[in-house]
Amino acid sequence: MSPLRSLALVQGAITLCWVIYDLVLPQLLDDAGLDLAWVRSLLVIENLLILVVEPVMGALSDRWRQALALRWSLITGSALLAATMFVALPWLAIARQSELFVGLVVLWSVSMAVFRSPVLSLLGQMGGTLPLPVAASVLTLSSGIFGALRPVAQNFLLSLGAVPTFGAGAIVLGGAILYLRRVSPAMPEAEDAPTSVPWERSLGLAAVGMAMGTGTRLLLGMVVPEQIAQILATPWVPWGVAGMILWQAGWAVVGGWVATRWGLGRSLRITAVAVGLLCGGLLVNQSLGWLIMLLVMAGFGVIANGMIPLALTVMPARWGGLGIGTYLGAFGGAIALWGVVMPTGEAVYLLSMVAFLSVAAMLYRLP
């Protein structure tokens, strides 16, 4: 397996663990004797921690560019720790150790954030001679395949039981990270990390991350399910949502090649404007809602695929981890915000339109 495919497997394993966690968490809270209201509280706490942890660990990984052993220790150590805690979560819930369970949930989400930015910053090295957007499309496709399980797999995972389900997720994550370490190519010797941080570029990526997180939360959490429910009978809605996620992931591959031909920034700006206007169009023309949704999700796949390459391109090469961490942290912060503030009705579509148009405007200001 090539290094890029191994990195894509890690990305898929991360997605799989979060899918398992999100779908089975209500059962674990019930097993631990906790109210289901904790679901939203934990979501907010986790994403607020990610807002801080992602950029810090990305910057730390950049500082350790010369000490490759330390960098890989950070990645493998935190990933294996996260896998170990993942196995322990259902056991604590079954034992009704509610305080320990909540504490371990928070620590697990922090551990997952610790290695994500450092490992994604390896995209350029793992992709070899491929342009960054094309290499990123392999990761996006992997994440989309595993992410499509979220709408349809809950009953199946619950039927397996929490212990084997979490154990399987931990094995996939641990095995993927160890295999990536084994097949990773030798890294070129890095220069000393610069003492000055490119704050302006970092803050620009944070603004893009906030807008993108807002658009993603509203689009995938509210707009898509609502539109699918108007087209399909209720039992088929989850399958329709899963199909949309796969459709979006497939368009990431197209987006990678388009970005190579048009230029990454240009393709992202044009697509973000189109997606924003189409979200507004859903309010105007409901009869063509299914066609507009296909176009929206195709464009969203192009935008989502370009964000990690954007962070690596905008930031100096020696601060790639910070760039990715800043973007992902702000993205998670927006997810936390819209987990508390829940718009309804036409406001969802209008805010989605504003979010994606804001992404385009902020991309224009990036160097």
pLDDT at 66: 55
List, for residues 232-261, the tens digit of each pLDDT value.
877 888 888 889 999 999 999 898 988 988
Largest CA distance in the chain: 59
Residues 202/117, Cβ–Cβ less than 8 Å? no
pLDDT < 70: residue spans in the chain:
1, 64-69, 186-195, 367
pTM: 0.90
pLDDT at 72: 82
Half-sphere exposure of 50 (CA within 13 A, CB side): 29
DSSP letter string, 313-339: HHS-GGGHHHHHHHHHHHHHHHHHHHH
Sign of CA dihedral 116, 6, 216, 149: negative
10 Å CB burial of residue 155 (0-12, 13-18, 19+) is exposed
CA 94, 100, 102 angle in degrees (round to 5)?
Answer: 90
Q: Which residues of 308-340 are buried (b: 16+ CB within 10 A; e: fewer)?
A: bbbbbbbbeebbbbbbbbbbbbbbbbbbbbbbe
186: left (phi over 0), alpha (psi -120 to 50) or beta: beta
Q: Residue 337: which residues within 8 A CB-CB, separation 6 or more?
A: 214
CA 221, 173, 88 angle in degrees (round to 5)?
Answer: 90
Where is 104: in which H helix or E strand? helix 98-120
- Spatial distance between the Cα atoms of 84 and 352, rounded to a whole number of angstroms: 38
If you ran DSSP here, which 8-state letter would residue 95 be given?
T
Pick from 158, 24, 29, 49: nearest CA to 92: 29
